[in-house]
Amino acid sequence: MRWSQVFIPTLREDPADAEVASHKLLLRAGYIRQLSAGVYSYLYLGQRTALKIMQIIREEMDRIGGQEFYLPALHPAELWQETGRWDQMAATMFQLKDHSGRDFCLGMTHEEVMADIARHELRSYRQLPQIWYQIQVKFRDEARPKSGLMRLRHFIMKDSYTFDLDDAGLDASYKKHYDAYCRIFTRCGLHYEIVEAHSGAMGGSQSHEFMVVSPAGEDRIAICVKECGYAANLEKARAGLKPVSDPPGDPKPEVFPTPNVRTIEELVGFAGVKPEFLMKALVYVIPAADKGKQKDQIVLALVRGDHQLNEAKLGDALGGAPFRPAHPDEIRAHFGAAPGFIGPLGQKGVRILLDDALRGRRNLTTGANQNDHHVRHVTPERDFTGEYHDLRLVADSDPCSRCARPLRVASAIEVGHIFKLGRRYAESMGARVLDRDGRQVTLVMGSYGIGVERILTAAVEQHHDPEGMKLPRSIAPFDVVLTPVNLNEEPIRQAAEQLYAGLREARVEVLYDDRDERAGVKFKDADLIGVPVRLTVGKKAAEGKVEISERSTGQRADARISEAVGLVRSRYCG
C-alpha cells in the first residue's frame, strides 16, 4: 500500500479525554474513531489488525474442530425469557420492540440462540460432541463504557459453545478450549495469566479467565508469587490467614460510648484496639420477590475489622439471590442506629453471615445498635449465631491458600473467559438427545468467549512506548513500513520503488511511505502506528544500502538493497 493513497489520520497530540495508553495511541495512530460512548468505528489500520486477530482465533478454533457459524444479533425476547435472563440481564441488555410491539433484544451473548439450534437439531449421542463458534458483534449497555476499546457497548466477540453427552465430554471440550486459548493469546503476543474465575450470572461449575496484567485493567486478580500455580480473580480468590490471638479472659459484652466514631479507623484510634479485634458489620437487602406478600430480607455481613467484604462471595453465600446495600434509613429502621454503629447482638429476623476468619474468635468489638456506642467482649456463638462463609476480599500479600507464600494482587484486562455451563441452559430450554441406551438425556454445555478489541487493547498496553505502539507482527497492520527519507533524490526514489516491488512480490505486507513529507514526520508516524520493521532508504542508497530497524527493540543495521527483501522475509516474516 502507498501511504499517500490510504487514510491514516494520525494525530500529534494526545486526545483530551483519553486516559489509558491504548486509548490514546489507537486514536492518535488513526486506528479508531469514536461514534458515541463505547461505540467506535475501526478505520483502515484498526480493521486490518482486528482481521488478523480474528484470523488467529479462527485458525485455532478450527484446529480443535470448531465449526464457524454466524448467528443473528437480533433476538426474540421469548428465548431469553425461557432461561430467565430477559429480566436477570435487563440492566445491560439493549431491549427494543418491533413495529408490531413484539419484544426483541440485541444479543449480548448467544447461549440461548445456540441452545435453541441444538434442541431442534441434535437428536442422538452419535452427533456429539459439537463445537460451534462464531465471530460476531455483541451489544451490552455497559454502565460505564470507557478507556477506548476496553469496555465497549458494541464489540466483537468470538464465542463458542460445546455440546456433550456427559461431564467427561464437557471436561474434554473445555480442555480443548483452554489449550486453544493459550495458543491464541501467545500468537497475539500477549503475556497472560490464567485465573480461576467467578461464574457470576452464567452459572456453571468451573470457569477460567485469561488475564493480561496491566494497570489499565479493570479486573483485579490474585497470583501466588511462588510457582505453586495459584491464580484467581479477586471475586473468587481465597487466602490463608496469619494467626491472631484474641484479647484474653471471658468477660461479658459491654457497651461503651464512642461519640461520632463511625469508621474502623476512627474506632481503632478512639478505643486503641487493633483492627483485627474488631468486627465490621455491613447491611444488605434481598428485595422481596412479591412486595405485597413478603418483606425484604435484611442481611448482616460480618468481617474482621482489617478485612474487606467481597460482594461476589456474599452473592454466592446468598445463593444467587439479587441483593443490594441497605439504604441508611433502612438500617436505622431495622437496627435502631445509624450505619457505623451496627452489630449482630439482639437481632431477630436478620440473616447474619460471618466470614470464616471470625470462626472461633473471642472478645471482639462491634457496633452496639445504639448511636454513638459500640460493644466490646463479643464472642460469636456465645453471644449470637450466624452462618459462616468465605466472605473476605483477598488483599495483597495475604498468604496463598495453597502454599502460604504471599499473594500478589494486580490489575488485569480480561481477554478471554471459558465456562463449564453444565446442564443449566439445556435443561431450561429442553435440549436433550438419546443416549446409547435410548434414554433422553440433557445436553451438557460449555461456553467460551474472547474479546477481539480486548486483545488489541491489551497488546497495545503491553507493547508501547511514549512514541507509539510496538505491535507484535502477528497482529500488526503491516509487516514492514518502507520509509524513503526524500523522494526527490533519484537514487533514493529508485531504491524505494525497487524495494516496494520486491517486498510485494515476496508477499511481505508493506506500507510504502511515499508521502511528500519531511523524514522526521514519516519516522514519527511509523513509530506511532506500531509496524514492527522499518526499512529506511536514505543517503546510503547511492552505495546500495538501506537501514533495517526493529520497532520493538530499536535495533538497527544496514543491509544491501539487493539482499534486504530476503533478509526481511527470513528474519521477520517466517
| Site for ligand ATP, rule CB under 6 A | 109, 140, 142, 151-152, 155, 157, 414-417, 449-451, 453-454
Alpha helices in 374-451 (DSSP H): 424-429
Q: Please answer whether residues 290 and 281 qualify as being in contact, where contact means their C-beta atoms are separated by less than 8 angstroms.
A: no
Residue 140 contact among Mg ion, ligand ATP, none, beta carbon within 5 to 8 Å by kind = ligand ATP
For ligand ATP, the closer of residues 268 and 450 by Cβ is: 450
**Exposed e or buried b per residue across 122-139, where buried means at least 16 C-beta atoms within 10 angstroms of its C-beta:** beebeebbbbbbbbbebb
The rounded Cα 521 to chain-centroid distance in angstroms is 36
For ligand ATP, the closer of residues 235 and 276 by Cβ is: 235
For ligand ATP, the closer of residues 32 and 450 by Cβ is: 450
Residue 155 contact among Mg ion, ligand ATP, none, beta carbon within 5 to 8 Å by kind = ligand ATP
At residue 171, what is the residue type? D
Q: C-beta of 332: minimal distance to ligand ATP in Å? A: 34
For ligand ATP, the closer of residues 152 and 303 by Cβ is: 152
For ligand ATP, the closer of residues 220 and 569 by Cβ is: 220
Angstrom distance (rounded) from CA 403 to CA 227: 9
At residue 500, what is the residue type? Y
Instruction: Describe the strand order of the beta sheet including 387-389 as a list of residue ranges.
Output: 324-325, 279-286, 297-304, 350-355, 387-389
Segment lying near Mg ion (by CB under 5 A), choices 8-16, 250-258, 409-417, 522-530 = 409-417
Q: C-beta of 444: minimal distance to Mg ion in Å? A: 20
Angstrom distance (rounded) from CA 259 to CA 62: 67
| Pairing outcome for strands 231-233 and 219-224 | antiparallel
For ligand ATP, the closer of residues 253 and 416 by Cβ is: 416
Q: Dig out the grid coordinates for 547 from the structure.
A: 537501514
Selection from 192, 188, 189, 148 nearest residue 52 by Cα: 188
Per DSSP, the chain holds a count of helices (H) and strands (E) of 14, 33
Residue 75 contact among Mg ion, ligand ATP, none, beta carbon within 5 to 8 Å by kind = none
Q: C-beta of 192: minimal distance to ligand ATP in Å? A: 11
Angstrom distance (rounded) from CA 57 to CA 133: 10
Q: C-beta of 116: minimal distance to ligand ATP in Å? A: 19
Q: C-beta of 109: minimal distance to ligand ATP in Å? A: 6
Q: Is the dihedral of CA 112, 114, 120, 126 positive or negative?
A: negative
Residue 142 contact among ligand ATP, Mg ion, none, beta carbon within 5 to 8 Å by kind = ligand ATP
Residue 340 contact among Mg ion, ligand ATP, none, beta carbon within 5 to 8 Å by kind = none
Residue 157 contact among ligand ATP, Mg ion, none, beta carbon within 5 to 8 Å by kind = ligand ATP
Q: C-beta of 85: minimal distance to Mg ion in Å? A: 15
Q: C-beta of 45: minimal distance to ligand ATP in Å? A: 19
- Which residue's CB comes closest to ligand ATP? 451
Q: Please answer whether residues 73 and 107 qualify as being in contact, where contact means their C-beta atoms are separated by less than 8 angstroms.
A: yes
DSSP, residue by residue, 289-308: SSTTT-PPEEEEEEEETT-E
Size of the site for Mg ion (CB under 5 A): 1
Q: C-beta of 449: minimal distance to ligand ATP in Å? A: 3
Residue 300 contact among Mg ion, ligand ATP, none, beta carbon within 5 to 8 Å by kind = none
Q: Is the dihedral of CA 521, 523, 528, 529 positive or negative?
A: positive
| Pairing outcome for strands 373-378 and 130-139 | unpaired
Residue 283 contact among ligand ATP, Mg ion, none, beta carbon within 5 to 8 Å by kind = none
For ligand ATP, the closer of residues 417 and 423 by Cβ is: 417
For Mg ion, the closer of residues 109 and 536 by Cβ is: 109
For ligand ATP, the closer of residues 79 and 195 by Cβ is: 195
For Mg ion, the closer of residues 417 and 551 by Cβ is: 417
**What are the angstrom distances between the C-alpha of 150 and each of 42, 58, 68, 366, 394?**
14, 22, 25, 41, 25
Q: What are phi and psi of 374, to 5 degrees?
A: -125, 175
For Mg ion, the closer of residues 31 and 139 by Cβ is: 139
Q: Please answer whether residues 397 and 406 qualify as being in contact, where contact means their C-beta atoms are separated by less than 8 angstroms.
A: yes
Q: C-beta of 207: minimal distance to Mg ion in Å? A: 8
- Which residue's CB comes closest to Mg ion? 417
Residue 416 contact among Mg ion, ligand ATP, none, beta carbon within 5 to 8 Å by kind = ligand ATP
Please tell me whether residue 454 binds Mg ion under the rule CB under 5 A.
no
Interacting residues with Mg ion between 411 and 430 (CB under 5 A): 417
**Exposed e or buried b per residue across 382-420, where buried means at least 16 C-beta atoms within 10 angstroms of its C-beta:** ebbebebbbbbbbeeebbbbebebebbbbbbbbbbbbbb
Q: C-beta of 419: minimal distance to ligand ATP in Å? A: 8
Angstrom distance (rounded) from CA 32 to CA 8: 10
Contacts of 81 (CB under 8 A, 6+ apart): none
Q: C-beta of 145: minimal distance to ligand ATP in Å? A: 7
Q: C-beta of 144: minimal distance to ligand ATP in Å? A: 10
Angstrom distance (rounded) from CA 217 to CA 338: 36
Residue 509 contact among ligand ATP, Mg ion, none, beta carbon within 5 to 8 Å by kind = none
For ligand ATP, the closer of residues 312 and 403 by Cβ is: 312
Please give the residue ranges that form the binding site for Mg ion (CB under 5 A).
417
